[in-house]
Amino acid sequence: MALVRRATFLAALFASTVCSRAVAQKLMQTTDTEEAARAGVDLIHWAEGVPDAGERIIYVRNISNRPIQVKSYEIYDCVAVHVRVCGIHTPGPLVLPGKTARLAIIDFVRMHRWSYRYRLNTAFVDSTAADTSHH
């Protein structure tokens, strides 16, 4: 639970602070990655705001030593979000060990309260076991 709170805090920080992608990724790598690895998490994810662009980008990072396939992802409970991104998307990216991939770009309607949620369905490439994560 503390890991989720910390990731949520960092995502909110990125959304409210002018922050370059390189700085955001460095923060994620040095804080959440260490905690997530200790907790047995293999794939971390976060959303980063793009200053003055009216969008957020959802990223996934593989912190395991095995490739992970995002089999599908769903963006749902969309409010004031451009409709084309909402729904189920398949397949998602193949994320190699130690790599970060962009999952989706969320365009939202400026000057409105916007919100969305997303969930992932993932599996190790060399395994049939699936792991479903919600955010």
Q: Per-residue pLDDT tens for 75-127?
A: 999 998 887 889 999 999 999 999 999 999 998 877 778 889 999 999 999 75
Distance CA 38, CA 44 (A): 12
Which residues does 74 contact at the CB level (< 8 Å), separation at least 6? 87, 88, 89, 118, 119
- What is the residue range of 107's domain? 2-134
**pTM, whole model, 2 decimals?**
0.68
In this predicted model, which residue has the larger pLDDT, 86 or 37? 86
**Residue 16, burial from CB neighbour count under 10 angstroms (0-12, 13-18, 19+):** exposed
Asked whether the predicted pLDDT for residue 51 surpasses 60, the reply is yes
Q: Which of 56, 49, 48, 58 is nearest to 104 (CA)?
A: 58
Asked whether the predicted pLDDT for residue 48 surpasses 80, the reply is yes
* 3-state SS, residue 75: strand
Number of domains comprising the chain:
1
Give the mean model confidence (pLDDT) for residues 53-81.
93
Q: CATH number for the domain including 87?
A: 2.60.40.10
